[in-house]
Amino acid sequence: QLQLQESGPGLVKPSETLSLTCTISGGPIKSDFWTWLRQPPGKGLEWIGSIYQTGSPTYNSSLKSRVSISLDASKNQVSLSLSSVTTADTAVYYCARWGQPWNYYFDYWGRGTLVAVSS
Amino acid sequence: DIQMTQSPSSLSASVGDRVTITCQASQDISNFLNWYQQKPGKVPKVLIYDASNLATGVPSRFSGSGSGTHFTFTISGLQPEDVATYYCQVYDNVPRFTFGPGTKVDIK
């Protein structure tokens, strides 16, 4: 059973870079699609980007200029970096697995971590 | 990018009522659409995948239909534990993903 755990600072200042790590346990990560999503307080879900080890990451076009996702298979970790943050980036950030090719849906999720952008 | 509209944005219904939510895609997405349930303070959970397939362990009162650009999600007999926000989610072959804005379901 896979378990995902997001970690990182809960508070980031405007214009700085938000950095989060997702640590996956219960299985190797190199054969799967790993995804970051976010949910501002009281609002809906937004896809940030995904990574598969053998390919380039894919990003939401609205965030593409500010986001970077990387994968470290040796540590079983997926990382998110979002630069030049504003208060609009305040959200719960989730790490999830896109279950392709077995399940074409997000089948494993972390519990999420709240990141507030504030001075 | 694929855009999704979802309606209604919220609804209130009685226990036992039939509840229907619709999602419309901005382009033909075949059946590449999933439905998730998110209870307050919880992580989203898939209920329906590929438009009409019931995920493992999900009660049969939940169902989905549609293809192309128009999709429907139904709860046939609303239960108190179904109070949640429901999201449609589409994907393409890259894959890239888009969520609908959500429908909040309450008990009247």
| Count of CB atoms situated within 10 Å of the CB of A2 | 13
What is the distance between the alpha carbons of residues B24 and B5, in angstroms, rounded to a whole number? 5
**pLDDT value of position A29:** 85
Work out the minimum CA distance from A21 to partner chain B, whole angstroms.
18
Of all residues in chain A, the one with the smallest CA distance to B43 is A111
What is the distance between the alpha carbons of residues A89 and A9, in angstroms, rounded to a whole number? 13
Residue with tokens 């950030």: A93
Strand stretches in chain A, DSSP E: 3-7, 11-12, 18-25, 33-39, 46-52, 58-59, 67-72, 77-82, 91-98, 106-109, 113-117
Residue A49 in contact with residue A36, Cβ under 8 Å?
Answer: yes
What is the distance between the alpha carbons of residues A39 and A113, in angstroms, rounded to a whole number? 10
Three-class SS of residue B82?
helix
Phi, psi for residue B82 in degrees, rounded to 5: -90, 0
β-pair type (B10-13, B103-107)? parallel
Residue A55 has pLDDT above 90, yes or no: no
What is the distance between the alpha carbons of residues B50 and B32, in angstroms, rounded to a whole number? 5
Confidence of residue A61 (pLDDT cuts 50, 70, 90): very high
**Residue to substitute from A102, A104, A107, interface B, most B β-carbons within 10 A:** A104
Sort out which chain B residues have CB atoms less than 8 A from A61's CB and list them. 1
Task: Give the tens place of pLDDT for each residue, B17-44.
Answer: 999 999 999 999 999 999 999 999 999 9
Q: Given A45, A94, A105, which is nearest B46 (Cβ)? A: A105
Give the angle B93-A51-B27 at the CA atoms, nearest 5°: 25
Residue A53 has pLDDT above 90, yes or no: no
Sort out which chain A residues have CB atoms less than 8 A from B1's CB and list them. 61
Residue A70 in contact with residue A79, Cβ under 8 Å?
Answer: yes
Mean pLDDT score, A112-116: 98
What is the distance between the alpha carbons of residues A2 and A8, in angstroms, rounded to a whole number? 20
Of all residues in chain A, the one with the smallest CA distance to B32 is A104
Mean pLDDT score, A78-100: 97
